[in-house]
Amino acid sequence: MWNTVNEQISQAMHFDFKHTIKRQLQSPNSDKLFQLSDGIHQYFVKVAHRSDLERFENEAHNLQLLTKESLFMVPDCITTGANIEFSFIVLEWLELDQQPHTNWHIMGSHLASLHLKHRQAMFGFDQDNFIGPTTQPNRWHKKWNIFFAEERIGWQLQLLHEKGIDLVDKDYFVALIKDMLHSHTVKPSLLHGDFWRGNMGFIQSVPSVFDPSCYYGDREVDIAMSELFAPLPDAFYIAYNKHYPLTQGYEQRKLIYQLYPILNHANIFAGHYLTEAKQQIELLLK
């Protein structure tokens, strides 16, 4: 496989690349991560099963879109490819600054700048993509409440149902989510889609994001996600609200939006995430 990777990097970069250093990195999921270098040029390589090529191609497209539309430092995709057994994506190597960092206010203003662009009239995306390893459906909808209830919550509940797990009556709960979001006025914004601390950092003090799951939706989804697993420093939220203040009712909607990544983790990892998902659903049913 590594000969194929070297060849495709060479073709993409227009010079003969042969790695002399291959260092495996820690991975938060089933992808295998590597730092590849010839002593001069460095690349970040993700490797997965052959069937994951579409996921890597989606990631490349999402990164390109964020590069075009945002102020963030986004890694360039050098190439994607596969052999009989494996698929891979090769990204620009970005050396993240050491934490803690003092520029979280810039991260907040950059996200607000992205969200303030309302160039789509509908909610969704041109293609389905992935959040982690899970397929993320993105059929276009005119109404946000229908999109989020069906394409996000309903989809995740259906995936659990197919595993024999029913946390709630799916049809009833999807209808409830539609009703809870019905009166919320939303303009579609391009979302990172998986905006948590593990998918961001700083490159020489410039805010950087990666591992996106882009679609056009309610900007509050990114904010809610940022508060879920490891809330960002206050400076981030103060700066975001200065440029694009959150509207009344966000704290209630946050519970709905955070349910989506919790359900996704329940589908991927099961365990305590199933308990957390059940608790979140019970809060919304009250």
Q: Residue 29: its pLDDT value, please?
A: 83
Listed residue (33, 35, 1) closest to 20, CA to CA: 35
Q: Residue 108: its pLDDT value, please?
A: 98
Q: pTM of the prediction?
A: 0.96
Contact present, 90 and 78 (Cβ < 8 Å): yes
Give the 3-state DSSP-derived string for 201-266, with helices as H, strands as E and coil as C. EEECCEEEECCCCCEEECCHHHHHHHHHCCCCCHHHHHHHHHHCCCCCCHHHHHHHHHHHHHHHHH
In order of 22, 36, 44, 45, 82, the CA distances from 2 in angstroms are 10, 10, 13, 10, 10
Q: Residue 276: its pLDDT value, please?
A: 98
Question: Side chain identity at 104, as an amino acid letter?
Answer: W
Q: Residue 100: its pLDDT value, please?
A: 82
Side by side, the strands of the sheet bearing 86-92 are: 21-25, 32-37, 42-49, 86-92, 77-82
Angle at CA 96, nearest 5°, toward 91 and 102? 145
Contact present, 85 and 220 (Cβ < 8 Å): no
**Separation CA 191–CA 60 (nearest Å):** 15
Looking at the DSSP assignment, which residues form a beta bridge with residue 42?
A: 37
Q: Is the dihedral of CA 205, 211, 216, 218 positive or negative?
A: negative
Cis, peptide link before residue 100, omega less than 30° from 0 = yes
Catalytic hit among 194, 211, 218, 222: 194
Query: How many other C-beta atoms lie within 10 A of the C-beta of residue 91?
Result: 21
Active site residue 97: no
**Separation CA 99–CA 202 (nearest Å):** 9
Q: Which residues of the chain have pLDDT under 70?
A: none
Q: Residue 242: its pLDDT value, please?
A: 98
